[in-house]
A and B are shown apart, each in its own frame.
Chain A
Amino acid sequence: METTIKATNLTKSFGDFTAVDKLNFEVEKGEIFGFLGANGAGKTTAMKMLIGISKPSAGDAVVAGYQVSNQAELVKKNIGYMSQKFALYDDLNIKENIQFFGGIYGLDSKSIEVKYNRVVENLGLQDYAKQLVRSLPLGWKQKLAFSVALLHQPKIVFLDEPTGGVDPVTRRQFWELIYEAANQGTTIFVTTHYMDEAEYCDRISIMVEGEIKALDTPKVLKKEFGVSSLNDVFLKLAR
């Protein structure tokens, strides 16, 4: 099995405060990895290091073959990222967003055109191509943002709470897209507060106060904690 993320003692401190404390874990190619934890547990800080926008205070991680400590630019080129907060430009239309992000990732105009056609067809957005992204329902925006994050065929895509507030049907359609991408070999690293979504992951980790306190398949974790749902595992650990 090929490893796409390998964190070794990955640590981040702000002054006296250790936000992320010696994380050690590996994620394999094509795996859906759920990265869970309470608000303030250090998830965002850890994720920022993994996507190359924050330097570790100690330790390191290899992401998509590059070290986050000194090859951050190469890490960024080889990953996709989307968050609930910032994903696409609201005042560009669907096509313009795809052209923009395709260009940023260095795709030529011909392959952008090919990708654009594939994305709108795949998502059934043909009739909305000229609409400003602002006017699309949140769920559509998020599906589009996910496709945009995959434009440059990254080895791994980071999803930070991609489905927060999205309606239950669209939330499930979103996960179908995740499954599809994973089936084609893309590694998925995802955070969520929906515990039913955590069940869809191949493996999950739960962070508490800067440390990973549990890491395994949902099945094993439930067994280990003697409970029937991941929600209960979470409550037991984080409370």
Chain B
Amino acid sequence: MSLHINNISKSFKDLKAVKHISLEVKENELFGLIGPDGAGKTTLFRILASLLLPDEGSANVAGFDVIKDYKKLRKNIGYMPGKFSLYQDLTVEENLNFFATIFDTNIEENYDLIKDIYIQIEPFKKRKAGDLSGGMKQKLALSCALIHKPKVLFLDEPTTGVDPVSRKEFWDMLKKLQKKDITIFVSTPYMDEAALCDRIAFINQGEILQVDTPSAIVKNFAKEVINIRTNSIYKSLQVLGKYQYTHSNYPFGESLHYMDSRDDFDPNEIKKHLEDEGIEDVEVQLITPEIEDIFMELSRE
């Protein structure tokens, strides 16, 4: 096991940020912690990176206890916080050199590991980090987190606020890194990124709701999800909001996803109800649930 988290809790005054979390992450796994802002993701990251003491529980990262062995642990992990935290008034090259020196290494030694990423920002190596665009800052931060060839890489919301194209590129980079013998523990509020992980944990309000591979989570989901298209999603939402058998009812892009409160029902009944209420062009279809459907359902419970 690369990460072993046992019953970790942490509170800040009255707020229970992390509640009895236990998790295991295998070696060289790409593990995703999926949950919205305020779920407790960053608190957990800080505990695992030995920057914050848990109130209870224990955790072991790459063979080191987060409390007792914190000095050794820090040499063996890379941590990229959600907030850009490199030196804004050092250049790209100076930042990278600085982090390499701190970890008793130099850029040449592990260049192979960061090459694919660093090469994209190398043309700007004399530019101050503070003057880089968001995407370039992210690449520099990742290079700095990797320069000492860590065994475990912690990435706290690396793609928040990043456009879909750059997000895709970032995940392609992670897939490549994973092959170089690095365990990656990454958090994201984007549900569509869950499918790119080997395994995921849903986290909400400090608690882990479910842990499994994305495909198993989808396969084991018990409720049926109906995709509904109509001439007016807004009106359909209002109609279904008042329908007696509605369990949940959410807009999904150009359609609606509907779950029924009954165990057994005919989707055509929903269609008829919508049509009776004056909605036109109604199409209903049973679909494979999306990760976001499941997250929303689990966080209701």
The stretch of B248-256, B272-280, B281-289 that contacts the partner chain: B248-256
- Assembled-state Cα–Cα distance A230/B39 (Å): 28
Tell me which residues across on chain A come within 8 A of B36, comparing CB atoms: 138-139, 165-168, 170
A170 vs B253: C-alpha distance when bound (angstroms): 15
What is the number of residues of chain B that contact chain A, defined by CB distance less than 8 Å? Answer: 35
A138 touches B135 (CB 8 A): no
Given A193-B163, A199-B253, verify A169-B296 contact (CB < 8 Å): yes
B157 at the binding interface (Cβ < 8 Å): yes
Is A118 on the interface with B (CB-CB < 8 A)? no
Query: Is B134 engaged at the interface, CB distance under 8 Å to the other chain?
Result: yes
Tell yes or no: A58 within 8 A of B by CB: no
Asked if B165 and A234 make an inter-chain contact with CB atoms under 8 angstroms apart, the answer reads yes
Cross-chain contact B296 with A38 (CB below 8 angstroms) = no
Contact flags (1/0) for B38-49 with A, using CB distance below 8 Å?
110000000000
> Provided the pairs A195-B253, A200-B251 are in contact, do residues A164 and B161 lie with their beta carbons within 8 angstroms?
yes
A230 vs B163: C-alpha distance when bound (angstroms): 13
Which residues of chain B are within 8 angstroms of A161 by Cβ–Cβ distance? Answer: 161
Contacts of A234 in B (CB 8 A): 163-165
What residues of chain A lie closer than 8 Å to B299, measured between beta carbons? 167, 169
Distance (whole angstroms) from the CB of B69 to the closest CB of chain A: 33
- Cβ of A110 within 8 Å of any chain B Cβ, yes or no, is no
Given the complex, which residues of A lie within 8 Å of B253, measured CB to CB?
195-196, 199-200, 229-230
Q: Find out whether the CB atom of A168 lies under 8 angstroms from the CB atom of B166.
A: no
Contact with A along B148-163 (1 / 0, CB 8 A): 0000000001001111
Q: Is A210 interfacial (CB-CB < 8 Å)?
A: no
Residues of A within 8 A of B234 (CB): 179, 183
- Known interface pairs A38-B166, A196-B253; A176-B295 also in contact (CB < 8 Å): no
Chain B contact residues, majority secondary structure = mixed
Nearest opposing residue in chain B for A231, CB measure: B164
- The CA of A28 and the CA of B167, in the complex, are separated in Å by 32
> A172 contacts which of B39, B135, B166, B251 (Cβ < 8 Å)?
B251
What A residues does B133 contact at CB under 8 A? Answer: 39-40
Judged by a CB distance under 8 angstroms, whether B292 is at the interface is: yes
Those of A7-34 within 8 Å (CB) of chain B: none
Check if B250 sits within 8 Å of A172, measured CB to CB: yes
Please name all residues of chain A whose beta carbon is closer than 8 Å to the beta carbon of B189 when the two chains form the complex: 164-167
A151 to B24, CA, bound (A): 49
Count of CB-CB pairs between chains A and B under 8 Å: 92
A38 and B252 contact, CB distance less than 8 A: no
Residues 168-211 of A, flagged 1 when their CB comes within 8 A of B and 0 if not, give: 11101001100100010000000001111001100000000000
Q: Which residue of B lies closest to A43 (CB)?
A: B163
Question: A104 in the interface, Cβ–Cβ < 8 Å?
Answer: no
B161 CB contacts on chain A under 8 angstroms: 39, 84, 161, 164-165, 193
List B contacts of A166 (CB < 8 A).
Answer: 36-37, 189
In the assembled complex, the Cα of A169 lies from the Cα of B189 at a distance in Å of: 12
Give the nearest-CB partner of A137 in chain B: B38
Residues of B within 8 A of A230 (CB): 253
Knowing A39-B134, A167-B37, A168-B36, the reply to whether A218 touches B254 (Cβ < 8 A) is yes
Interface string of B289-301 (1 = CB under 8 A from A): 0001001100110
A165 and B164: CB pair below 8 A? no
Residues of B within 8 A of A164 (CB): 160-161, 189
Can you name the residue of chain A whose Cβ is closest to the Cβ of B162?
Answer: A39
- Nearest CB of chain A from residue B296's CB, rounded to whole Å: 5
Question: Are B160 and A196 neighbours in the complex by a CB distance under 8 Å?
Answer: no
User: Do the beta carbons of B37 and A235 come within 8 Å of each other?
Assistant: no
> Within the complex, what minimum Cβ distance (angstroms) separates A232 from chain B?
10
Sampled A-B contacts (17; CB under 8 Å): A38-B163, A38-B165, A38-B166, A39-B162, A41-B163, A138-B37, A139-B37, A164-B161, A164-B189, A165-B157, A165-B189, A167-B204, A168-B191, A168-B292, A183-B234, A200-B253, A219-B254
Question: A interface vs B, CB < 8 Å?
Answer: 37-41, 84, 137-139, 161, 164-170, 172, 175-176, 179, 183, 193-196, 199-200, 218-219, 229-231, 234-235, 238-239
What 10 A-B pairs are tightest by C-beta distance, nearest first?
A167-B36, A199-B253, A165-B37, A196-B253, A38-B163, A138-B37, A199-B254, A238-B165, A165-B189, A39-B134
